[in-house]
Amino acid sequence: MNIPAFGLGTFRLTGQAVIDSVKSALDLGYRAIDTAQIYRNEAEVGQAIAESGVPRGELFITTKIWVDNYAADKLIPSLRESLQKLRTDYVDLLLIHWPAPGNGVELREYMQALADAKQQGLTRQIGISNFNIELTRQAIAVVGEGEIATNQIELSPYLQNRTLAAFLDQQGITVTSYMTLAYGKVLKDPVLADIASKHKATVAQVALAWAMQLGYAVIPSSTKRENLASNLLARDLRLDEHDMARIAELERNGREVSPAGLAPAWD
């Protein structure tokens, strides 16, 4: 199964807020949900899915292993806990959340454990998040070509990550863009506002449509039902070559997230 082009992110959402967001999204037609162990909301996501009544087979659920659980004897037990919280026997996609080069667990060890999780049927696909080119090469060397489904990376009109995206494309690895709206900073951009006005769209729709037209998957989040519904319409928005060229010029290496000890040396 391919990575869905459009999903719901749940970063920073907890408690009732995440339950309401997931239930609203599923009601509106979202079918891909992205969470992570460190978000501490897997149980609420699981509850919302169960209460939504949407059959498990229609859903694409992603979670991410946190750095504390990278060791070979911890990764799969921690995943089983995540599955219990999510109320499912498997996830569709399991990611290593950060390469965490100084973490004391070698890349080979955690990538092998990730491959073992797939072999045991606990996840349908495996992938990585926040990996640079060199670490992605190393990950491929461990699990084999064609095994890594995605690299989930920060990517927005202000951080276009072209070198890494081009490498991933060559390898047949889908780019999943998170922070596509750069914590909302792109929403105030005059160029994007002009493009949005031309298409009678919102700026958020333009940014999301731009990423999808480049072949990337997106996982925007919101606690507001109207924003969830509006974001979904980005799937139907077609930007022309001139729009895409104007957005290409907005690149400013505007990275929002790069935690010390977890992040690699960025390309």
pLDDT tens, 130-160? 999 999 999 999 999 999 999 999 999 999 9
| 70 within domain boundaries | yes
Condensed to tens digits (0 to 9), the pLDDT of residues 6-48 reads 999 999 999 999 999 999 999 999 999 999 999 999 999 999 9
| 255 within domain boundaries | no
Tokens of 116: 């073992």
| 74 within domain boundaries | yes
Q: Compute φ and ψ for 85, nearest 5 degrees.
A: -65, -40
Among residues 105, 154, 175, 99, the alpha carbon closest in space to that of 131 is found at 99
| 215 within domain boundaries | yes
Query: Rounded mean pLDDT of 91-102?
Result: 96
Q: How far apart are CA 118 and CA 241, in angstroms?
A: 40
Q: How many CB atoms lie within 10 A of CB 236?
A: 9
Q: Give Rg (Cα) of the chain.
A: 18
Q: pTM of this prediction?
A: 0.97
Residue carrying structure tokens 């996840």: 123
> How many independent structural domains does the chain possess?
1
Whether residue 70 lies in the annotated active site:
no
Domain that holds residue 98: 8-248
Q: What is the CATH number of the domain that holds 208?
A: 3.20.20.100
| 259 within domain boundaries | no
Active-site residue identified among 39, 70, 178, 216: 39
| 44 within domain boundaries | yes
| 262 within domain boundaries | no
| 167 within domain boundaries | yes
